[in-house]
Structure 1
Amino acid sequence: MREIGGYRLVALLGEDGMGQAHLARAGSGRLVALRTVHARLAADPRFRERLRREAAAARSVDGPYTAKVLTADPDAEPPWLAAEYCAGPSLSEAVSALGPLDEGQLAALGALLAQALTALHTARLVHRDLKPANVIVTRDGPKVIDFGIAKGIGEGESTTGGGKVGSPGFIAPEQLAGDAESGPPADVFALGGLLALCATGRNPFGAGSAPKVLHRTLHDEPDLDGVPGTDWREFLGRCLARDPADRPTVAEALAWCAARGTPEPWWEREPVTGLIHQHEEATAELVAAAPEEPAPAPDEPAPEEPAPEEPAATPPTTRRRFLLWSASGAVAAAGISTAVALDEGGDTDTSGTVAHARTASWPRGRTVWTRELGDVRHGGSLLRHGDALYVHDTARLTRLDPATGAVRWQRDAHGVTQVVPHGKDLVHIVRTDHLGAPTLAALDATTGDLRWETRGAAPDALRPADASLSPEPAGGHGLLALGDRVACLVTYESYGTEGARGTARPRPWRAYGYDVLTGTPLWYHEGTAAAVTALRHAGGRFAVATSTRAQSDTPELLKARAQDPLHVLRATDGREETAIEGGALRPDAHPGAVGTGYFAAGEAVSAVDLTTRTTLWSRGVTGSVSVTPTACGDLVHAGSRTELSALDATTGRTRWLRTDVARITAAGSTPPLLADGRLYATGPEPGTGRLALDGPNWGLHTLDPTTGKLLWAAPFEDHGDPYGAAGDGLVHIYTGTTLTTFSAPEATA
């Protein structure tokens, strides 16, 4: 077994741009996190000098809520540093399991973190990267780790890369702008961002790419909607002030939080204690699986333990049943930096991405088959319908066998804008071109052959006497919805942008009813001059949502769009039964619909009685989300590009929230992918402690929709936002032009 500085290396925990981190044991048996430095950095005398200064300063940090640096040798080959090993989940993992913290829980955490920062600043160190991944929740409470990027107060910048160090959403404006030396106020800013995240489940400077988050940090006010209480919003607003002089000191933050903390530590309750136990069990398994050290020969003395390790020892470990292990606790405890290094242009440097342990510590899904097809990201779709998998890409519509990936048929799909399967026998498509109105066609689901086709022009016998028909096309866009016996095609002109509304001639939307099986024309209805934003069917009625406004989720336009009407047509004859003013944003709520529906508009999710159109509850969420339209059990699931959550279907309260995974959809902003009692998401590799907004899309995460816990995961190639479909225990993921099908591991299939 390899040794460094008298420590026996047990397992490689991770690697980043600075070096490697190992789980190691001292002669007494105490476990430590031992970090070695890459040779290219060690070759720089300035780096060694910085490491020498910071190691000496870090060893003087003494507090119950910091991971103690035990010893270091900056002059060794390679240079190394040993720190207290902290077994437990990261703060983000713990809060995801527990849910957003209330006022007392938040104050208890704030006081504890302020104490940790006080210990650092007393040693003349500034952390500069305080974030959830750098706080480990142990059985002794949360501990701040990773002083590897700290700098001595008053010593100026000395990062080897010549750039700024920090993480989007937590890095202070002065660190980004470079107009002031980043001292203790930078840590107060990060503390405010971390507490806001724990209170609301979202970053106070929003989601998206790193440059966007950093731009908001420099120019926008923090989003503190959902922070519990006016006093908390005021306090966190001060912590997140752009001017360092406007922020409270660490001592002031400590006093403010200490006066409000709850007496019962939330980290001593389930489910957090269960997560801590899992990490401890996983650590024991790593130790038990390590090669046995040969006993020393009779004339060979046993290796001596370094002096600083005498006070503590770990209990003996036994081989236990291996539990699922999120590597974030182990990697973070080892001091691996997951900070984003920013160059002067503000671009993200991913060279510091953390590697996972050599042996995957989570169940790995099986790759069933892979196939290269066209790109579905620009108006295409991926649909699972019974025993058929339909891929609509830029050029073709393809039916595949879901289990094998075998092509059943292909046909040209130029101009196709919508694909809607019907039963086992038909697939309906809407096709548009530049010469006429949209075409509705039905294909044989078995062969792909054309069954029938018709254009959106009203047959003479169906035209009402007062219809203002013209020989010109009825509009360049079409939407299709299928009822039990009727296919409804609505054609319209786009009013979706200011430019379109300024140049388009006012044209009415028009609805055409056809026999769903034969294509026989049944009825025609002409509406007002407006665009159609949604088309739904329920209870023998078609609901047509219309608008003459730009389609945007900005607060101003959402307020205006709340006045847009919903026209309800009878499926039997196409006559308008009613027009619901302000109903367009909830097109599923209309006469004939039953039950409760769930809607997302802007930054809110609402539950609505579909029959009465009464709002039962409404809750704010982070950014632009989509939501499952019906409940799964007693939960409704909401997702965005940066997070996934479960809300209580009756009250709207958050039951769980995860910011390390993001939504997978079938196309565009459709609901999170939920099938066969599984919730599918995408995100960074499990256990790295990265947030979904940090990217890239490492792969597939399969979650228990009730708890949000990981069931299994599988990597895929990252080519942008993935599309997904699922059924019969298979999940199909489309990235770029690659379609891959996964299933659960054999043991859990």
Structure 2
Amino acid sequence: MEQLGGYRLVALLGEGGMGRVHLGRAASGRLVAVKTVHEHLAADPQFRERFRREAAAARSVAGPFTAAVLDADPASVRPWLATEFCTGPTLTGAVSALGPLAPGELAALGAALAEAIAAVHAAGLVHRDLKPSNIVVTRDGPMVIDFGIARTSAEESLTESGEIVGSPGFIAPELLTGTGEPGPAVDVFALGALLAYAATGRPPFGTGAVHQVLYRTMHGSADLDGLAETPGAREGATGWRDLLGSCLSREPDDRPTVAETLTACAAWTEGDPWWEREAVAGLIRRREDEVAALVANAPGMTATGPADPADPTHPAADSDGEPEGGPDGEPGGEPRAPGTEVAPDMGSATVASRGASRRRFLRWGGAALAGGSAIGTVAWLASLTGRDGEDDGPDPPPSYTLGRALWTRGIGKASATRYGDFLYLTDTDGVIRLDARSGAVSWTHPAEDISGVVPGEKLVHVLRAPSFLSSEIIALDATTGVQKWSTGDVRHHPRRPPELRRPDAPADGDRAAFSVSAGLVCLVTCTRYGTRWERRTGGNRPWRAYGYDPRTGDPLWFHQGGAAEVVGLHQAGGRIAVASARSSFSDESEEGEPLAVLRAADGTLERGIPGGSRYLEAHPGSRGALCYATGGRLRSVDLATRRTRWSRALSEEQREAGITPTATVGLVHTATHDTLKALEAETGRTRWSLKDVGRPTDQAAPTVSGGLVYGLGRSPGGEESPDGRPTWGVHARDATTGALVWAAETGDARSVLVGDGGEGATGSGLVHVSADGILSTYAAPEQI
């Protein structure tokens, strides 16, 4: 086994523009990260001097929340530097996995980081590259790493003219303009941006092209929307919005000092430190297990292996190697192991394993080992070797991309809808429009009892259905959120017969549905008919349909149907299909309820289709074929003729299966809670089937987009779920073969949206995952 400076090099962890990073082991058994410099750089006297100064600067920093350089030899033929390990996820990984921090948790993080920055400044240094990927969350607290670009004023001569040091979104404006000498205030700015990210799940100056982020830093205002105020803050103290807003001031003199920031954060801490709480501790333990597995499987290790990295006397480190920095501190310089590919600036890493057992394959492949100061973020791209005793041979080498969230946002129980470049969050209190790529809020429209939203190019139509009041449709300007028109109380609709406009006329039901097309908005009201009690208390009310001009809200027509509950509404080919139910729907019944087909032009009844409600979209005016999962069977139905093209019975355990309605690459996909299948669209024959991949909780069927099918799966290479339901995260699999292409640890996802953005949209190529009240947005696999 190769040795360098008294350290045995256990494994190559990664390689970047500056050099290589190895997992090393000291004679005492202590694990370290050993950074070596590329030969061509070592031959450059100026670079060798820079490396010497970098190592000396890093060794002068001492603090409870800063990683330490242990040894270095800049004069060696092969210059190297060894640092302690800091075991745990980066702040990026923790926020991506667990969502934004609560105010008390944020305060604990802020106090620790402020103390770390104070230690850096006490050594006469300015870090100048604080960012989430340079913070490793360990069992001892958050550790600031990577002082590879820290500089004293005397070293500025070694920085090339015009060079910008730092990471977009966290760089202070004075570093961009080059005005004045960079001082401690640049780290205060970065700390403010870092805490804003931790509190909201998104960078305060957005994401996207570097020049756009830098422009917003210089000329825009920080996005602090959704930043919670701090309950229980001591009298006279500012809230989070004021504190972080002042940290992000353009003028250095307007920012608080590090000591003032530390004092404010310390006053707002609550209970146990954030990193000691179980959710974070679980991530840290997983990192420790992965480090132990890497060491145990390294060539030349004895059966006993090195000391347990969880032991405080043998610290280990890993982090989520972000594409924004590498060992040399340069953006885009993420180190790579041979045979792997990492696309820059997309928040992801590609994972490959050669000859490794699935059980030993790192569940967080694409995370990284970051060995303290001056190491930078190092991609966790190690190739594991060896076999378990019970294995007959090595598994096939899996290769997939691990997604990392671009931004996250707490949404509670709100549902998300994608249209063009924007996301619309809807709950009972209102509608919020977000930029799909950055998560920035475009506008908010408060309104109670919202039960549906249909976004459009110019207007967003919103349905309000209060329990004891009349339902109404509101049209909002898509750009501003300003209300353009409202239908108002349907009892005043001028097309209703005079006897239904009297004050004592029977009221409409308390349920409503609506559909929107280019020429018509149709609102349908009804009452519940699921049980005899609901029918009796609802007075056997008929359903009623109202037509409106979608641009102006002008009333067009009125139609009264039979005494039934409306369970579906569909517009196509100048018709409106209204599916009704006079009793509870039974999936065991082969006979459906009636389907009423109205003319969209005037609302008159064109025809009634007995038993047609089970196939809502199959009516005059529809074309093509759709698949349905009803009555214990999967069916493909010709919409124009209502003829069943093929039908397959579902087994008892598959009764809750959902199916994608239309074909992709000649296949339709069906999913239960733990099985994903691909069926030939023309015949219904199974093309492939997977266990331990199912549908998201709130979706009837998996999402299919761009030749990929998205489902909820278990950890790639991990053990089966103990409860039989895969809840590790979202899988994207090749729709044709079922092969894993992309995965993201999201937890038990409620829903998955994949946005194509439409023609000319800039927010295409994104995956939006709702899980545990958190909406996370990832770069789509095809864009990585």
TM-score in terms of structure 1 length: 0.50
Q: 2:553 aligns with which of 489, 503, 519?
A: 519
1:709-746 Cα offsets, whole Å, 9 max, x none, are 1101111244x63454433211011112211101147x
1:548 matches 2:578: no
Evaluate the alpha carbon distance shift between residue 357 and residue 511 of structure 1 in structure 2; reply closer, same or farther with a 3 A threshold: farther
Shift of 1:433: 1.3
Q: 2:521 aligns with which of 476, 480, 487?
A: 487
1:446 matches 2:479: yes
1:386-405 Cα offsets, whole Å, 9 max, x none, are 11111113433111001101
Q: Which amino acid aligns with 1:445?
A: A
1:369 matches 2:407: yes
CA distance in 2, matches of 1:663, 1:329: 29
Instruction: Describe how 1:659-678 pairs up with structure 2 within 5 A.
Output: 659-664=691-696, 668-678=698-708
1:688 matches 2:718: yes
Q: Which amino acid aligns with 1:363?
A: T
1:607 matches 2:636: yes
Q: 1:579 aligns with which of 567, 588, 608?
A: 608
> Unpaired runs of 5+ in structure 2?
2-9, 12-293, 303-336, 341-349, 362-380, 385-397, 757-763
Please give the root-mean-square deviation of Cα atoms over the aligned residues, in Å: 3.6
Residue 142 of structure 1 is matched in structure 2 by none
1:58-105 Cα offsets, whole Å, 9 max, x none, are xxxxxxxxxxxxxxxxxxxxxxxxxxxxxxxxxxxxxxxxxxxxxxxx
CA distance in 1, matches of 2:383, 2:353: 13
Residue 357 of structure 2 is matched in structure 1 by 330
CA distance in 2, matches of 1:706, 1:692: 29
Residue 393 of structure 2 is matched in structure 1 by none
Q: 1:703 aligns with which of 726, 733, 736?
A: 733
Q: 1:736 aligns with which of 772, 775, 783?
A: 772
Residue 383 of structure 1 is matched in structure 2 by 417
CA distance in 1, matches of 2:626, 2:509: 31
Evaluate the alpha carbon distance shift between residue 583 and residue 416 of structure 1 in structure 2; reply closer, same or farther with a 3 A threshold: same
Shift of 1:501: 2.9
Residue 623 of structure 2 is matched in structure 1 by 594
- Whether the 8 Å contact between 2:429 and 2:447 is mirrored in structure 1 is yes
- Whether the 8 Å contact between 1:327 and 1:687 is mirrored in structure 2 is no
CA distance in 1, matches of 2:545, 2:736: 41
Shift of 1:290: 3.9
Partner SS, residue 652 of structure 1: coil
Shift of 1:463: 3.0
Evaluate the alpha carbon distance shift between residue 466 and residue 327 of structure 1 in structure 2; reply closer, same or farther with a 3 A threshold: farther
Evaluate the alpha carbon distance shift between residue 654 and residue 456 of structure 1 in structure 2; reply closer, same or farther with a 3 A threshold: farther
CA distance in 1, matches of 2:382, 2:657: 33
Q: Which amino acid aligns with 2:564?
A: A
Residue 255 of structure 2 is matched in structure 1 by none
Q: 2:495 aligns with which of 462, 467, 471?
A: 462
Q: Which amino acid aligns with 2:476?
A: L
Shift of 1:642: 2.2
Residue 709 of structure 2 is matched in structure 1 by 679
Shift of 1:451: 1.0
Evaluate the alpha carbon distance shift between residue 515 and residue 659 of structure 1 in structure 2; reply closer, same or farther with a 3 A threshold: same
- Whether the 8 Å contact between 1:437 and 1:491 is mirrored in structure 2 is no
Shift of 1:516: 0.8
Q: 2:663 aligns with which of 631, 637, 645?
A: 631
Q: 1:436 aligns with which of 455, 458, 469?
A: 469
CA distance in 2, matches of 1:658, 1:457: 50
Shift of 1:372: 1.6
Shift of 1:373: 2.4
Instruction: Describe how 1:138-537 pairs up with structure 2 within 5 A.
Output: 290-291=298-299, 321=339, 330-331=357-358, 362-376=400-414, 381-422=415-456, 424-455=457-488, 457=490, 459=492, 461-464=494-497, 471-537=505-571
Q: Which amino acid aligns with 2:357?
A: A
CA distance in 2, matches of 1:650, 1:459: 49
CA distance in 1, matches of 2:301, 2:360: 24
CA distance in 1, matches of 2:639, 2:467: 38
Evaluate the alpha carbon distance shift between residue 700 and residue 503 of structure 1 in structure 2; reply closer, same or farther with a 3 A threshold: same
1:448-501 Cα offsets, whole Å, 9 max, x none, are 111111146255642357979863421101111112210001000011245423
Shift of 1:327: 10
Evaluate the alpha carbon distance shift between residue 485 and residue 366 of structure 1 in structure 2; reply closer, same or farther with a 3 A threshold: same
CA distance in 2, matches of 1:550, 1:328: 55
Instruction: Describe how 1:12-161 pairs up with structure 2 within 5 A.
Output: none
Partner SS, residue 363 of structure 1: strand
- Whether the 8 Å contact between 2:770 and 2:776 is mirrored in structure 1 is yes
Q: Which amino acid aligns with 2:666?
A: D
Evaluate the alpha carbon distance shift between residue 329 and residue 534 of structure 1 in structure 2; reply closer, same or farther with a 3 A threshold: farther
- Whether the 8 Å contact between 2:354 and 2:383 is mirrored in structure 1 is no
- Whether the 8 Å contact between 2:755 and 2:767 is mirrored in structure 1 is yes
- Whether the 8 Å contact between 1:661 and 1:691 is mirrored in structure 2 is no
> Unpaired runs of 5+ in structure 1?
2-9, 12-285, 295-318, 335-355
- Whether the 8 Å contact between 2:509 and 2:538 is mirrored in structure 1 is no
CA distance in 2, matches of 1:692, 1:617: 36
TM-score in terms of structure 2 length: 0.48
Evaluate the alpha carbon distance shift between residue 540 and residue 327 of structure 1 in structure 2; reply closer, same or farther with a 3 A threshold: farther
Evaluate the alpha carbon distance shift between residue 289 and residue 362 of structure 1 in structure 2; reply closer, same or farther with a 3 A threshold: farther
- Whether the 8 Å contact between 1:662 and 1:692 is mirrored in structure 2 is no
CA distance in 2, matches of 1:599, 1:425: 33
Residue 647 of structure 2 is matched in structure 1 by 618
1:643 matches 2:638: no
Q: 1:657 aligns with which of 686, 689, 695?
A: 689
CA distance in 2, matches of 1:551, 1:326: 50
Evaluate the alpha carbon distance shift between residue 417 and residue 492 of structure 1 in structure 2; reply closer, same or farther with a 3 A threshold: same
Q: Which amino acid aligns with 1:713?
A: A
- Whether the 8 Å contact between 2:353 and 2:399 is mirrored in structure 1 is yes
- Whether the 8 Å contact between 1:328 and 1:688 is mirrored in structure 2 is no
CA distance in 1, matches of 2:355, 2:447: 45
1:618-666 Cα offsets, whole Å, 9 max, x none, are 112312122222211311122232222211110011111222111137x
What percent of counterpart residues are identical?
A: 41
Shift of 1:748: 6.4
Q: 1:715 aligns with which of 742, 745, 751?
A: 745
Shift of 1:437: 2.1
Partner SS, residue 694 of structure 1: coil
